[in-house]
Amino acid sequence: CQQLFCSPLGTSRAIRPMLKRGHPCDGDTPVKAKQHRRVASTPQEEVSLEPEEGLQHSRSAQHEEIRSLPDSNNQELIGDFSKAHLLPTVKGKDPSLKYISPDTLVAVLSGQWSSFIESSITVDCRYPYEYEGGHIKGAVNLPLQQDVEQFLLDQPILSLDTSKRVIIIFHCEFSAHRGPKMCRFLREKDRSCHEYPQLHYPELYVLKGGYRDFFLQYPTHCEPQDYRPMEHGAFQEELRQFRCQSR
């Protein structure tokens, strides 16, 4: 009897506090004694309790399924599960992230999505000497995690029009390591600030191919119109210093 009424719902982290407040498992209480008599009286009465318990199991399973949804390429909803991703995505190295092509970024920068986007922020995660040697017009240089926290989380950029979106697009030189890593970092920090699944920035993207591919295809959208690689021979000391800071 205790197994029947001390439901396995107690194993759900999301619902356990409610159970502690509202459903004490005390076999000597009048309520428990009444439940015991109902179950023990006839098989018909025992069966009559099953649909309610089944409904509770179903709700618990659905709740746990929502909580366990990964931010993956197979999940087409944005991070707070409120709507689908706006921008068309392409396959990338990390299946947990959403990648867009240089063509899509140019469309965003050109205002082709302005009726749906209130604000788009392109985050250049390369080191400052790379950024100064050539970057996407309008991109902000945030090479370190503390830079991202200060710029995006200390005073979050929120949409004043609830029908429009704020999107963040990360990239580095190739979008193979630094850009994706910073994208995951922002999502993790954003999650820690909210009750699940709410987020300041539910819609994050990574520019596939990074600055290199973007510059090769759209140099007129870069300033200055140049490309300085991370391994540039004249900036080895700066590279060493920033790698130490990144660790």
Token pair, residue 125, equals 């995660």
Distances (CA, A) of 148 to 50, 187, 196: 51, 11, 21
Rounded to whole angstroms, how far apart are CA atoms 198 and 66?
12
Question: Quick count: other Cβ atoms within 10 Å of Cβ 164?
Answer: 15
Is 172 annotated as catalytic? Answer: yes
Three-class secondary structure of residue 49 per DSSP: coil
| Residue from 172, 183, 193, 244 carrying the catalytic annotation | 172
Which one, of 71, 75, 92, lies nearest residue 84 by Cα?
75
Token pair, residue 190, equals 């954003």
Q: Show which residues are catalytic.
A: 172
